[in-house]
A and B are shown apart, each in its own frame.
Chain A
């Protein structure tokens, strides 16, 4: 195992009775990186995190932390700490005692030294002067910070975070999101963060692993995940999409990034083949609404459409365009940024839509709607 890898999972499987919660998962988390595990509820991400923390034992496979195999190491002996979803702060203690709890367990340190380190950790999360407060006297955001400080003070090799921002309101979540990222960059601690919220995963992470039904779908940096999804599930789960189903592949141009043309209701649409596609295959196409360019009027290359709705949404508008040349009713959502040269459209306007071929991704259809994973 390379010393630059802090957490490694090798073929880890976890079964609960007949249910396979985690199915043959392997990945490596480089030292000092922010690694997110993104998946819908019931996808097995919590089980995965609990196995790293030591609260669950893998049915098969190995887990390494800092190069050591930790399968048989109990949670209180592992060099990682967890920030719990419901924070799990100790209500019977004040802020300082919460933060020094781990240091007291470890021992071998004077009381003054423990307090100095605890105060230092509290300062790092911006909570100076609240040491003597009771937990219930703190706001949600402050409690969040105490939970972080309580783990960070132990200087763990890896910090595990179980969706701790989920319970906060939107504004606070946005600001904590950035703070968490800055904190990670400052401390250089490896973060493993699990969430079902893709905006958090995309904004904070160096690498995101998308998990569905216990299986890893894709491991990639956020931008690659967004632009070049590896599977049908990733394409539909991450980001907003126009999803066109049941098209027929007309042409494939091979290459490192194979290009395809797919027929939907008599219209030829270009896209990138997310997986192996052959001429004549059935395919679904995902097109990002903000990647579609909209030009008023009728133009040469592009799809002719008529605006049916304009939904104002602050910084942008979502425009629904009916494709008038399609053989069956077909419409696309287009997101227009309100920049100076943005086209102005009204319902009823004739427009032309086009996109770069690699802004759309084509996949084989899947039998079941993959976002509705069962628990």
Chain B
């Protein structure tokens, strides 16, 4: 096969992906970007949509809350996922390994919407948890577990657990067990081995998992709205309101661009600060 026909073949294979990205990702974002810079009536160039965001303290606060909350939930997911990934790859025997892995994957057999509904059944005032705790005598009247920040955190950790656990498992898989033994042999304890050997080795996996989890949290709508209720104060809700309730596509677009820009810049900064290379990490 010569070089030019090879290149033709490559393009042919790439066509579905290019169409996918072009039609469903690039084009809508170009439109979104365009809409964010024009006025709702008349359609002339304006920065008013952006200024509206920056002038409104409520929106700014919700934005900051969403960013901080997403970051905290990402860290929380990491804290839950890392021991899980470590146990699955390094500690568990064959059976336990399969069981744990299944337990992590199983929830994804149903959609995020159904997962959220399940949490609602469990956590609402007349739900399973409230009932059980009353029967056990721990609480004495029905308690509403829904519509709290901790409920949102719980739901978000649950929905992104897999995306954090799998990349960390991948990176831990390549860690030679004798490295851990060598560290112990040289006098290290559990924490110093974790800090100096295991985490540095798993860093690319932690990075990939954290980026995915952070993006999923930041852009989440279903879980946040259903478990957090009307007052969950998540930025995606503000965007939704602009588009659907107020029919203001231009402000909605501007808010979307702000969220998108923030997430890209934030990830870029984190990568720079931790000296990770995205292509290497992925």
Contact = CB atoms under 8 A, between A and B. Distances in A.
Contact of A75 (B176, B184, B201): B184
Interface stretch (B64-72, B140-148, B186-194): B186-194
B187 A88 contact: no
Nearest to B187: A105
A154 interface: yes
A189 B212 CA distance: 51
Given A90-B197, A92-B200, A105-B192, A81 B186 contact: yes
User: Chain B's interface: helix, strand, loop or mixed, by majority?
Assistant: helix
A185 B182 CA distance: 25
Interface string A48-61: 00000111000000
A101 B183 contact: yes
Nearest to A55: B181
Contacts of B113: none
Given A88-B179, A88-B181, A150 B201 contact: no
A84 B178 contact: yes
Contacts of A89: 182
Interface in B192-221: 192, 196-197, 200-201
Interface string A5-35: 0000000000000000000000000000000
A86 interface: yes
A151 B181 CA distance: 13
A29 B51 CA distance: 81
A88 B182 contact: yes
A82 B200 contact: no
A294 B179 CA distance: 54
Interface in A52-89: 53-55, 74-77, 81-82, 84-86, 88-89
A182 to B, nearest CB: 24
Contacts of B179: 88, 90
Interface residues on A, range: 20 to 34
B280 interface: no
A150 B181 contact: no
A181 B185 CA distance: 23
B186 A101 contact: yes
B181 A75 contact: yes
A296 interface: no
A75 B188 CA distance: 9
A86 B176 contact: yes
B182 A84 contact: yes
Contacts of B178: 84-86, 88
A55 B184 CA distance: 9
Contacts of A93: 196
Contacts of A105: 186-189, 192
Given A92-B197, A92-B200, A84 B187 contact: no
A106 interface: yes
Interface in A92-149: 92-93, 101-102, 105-106
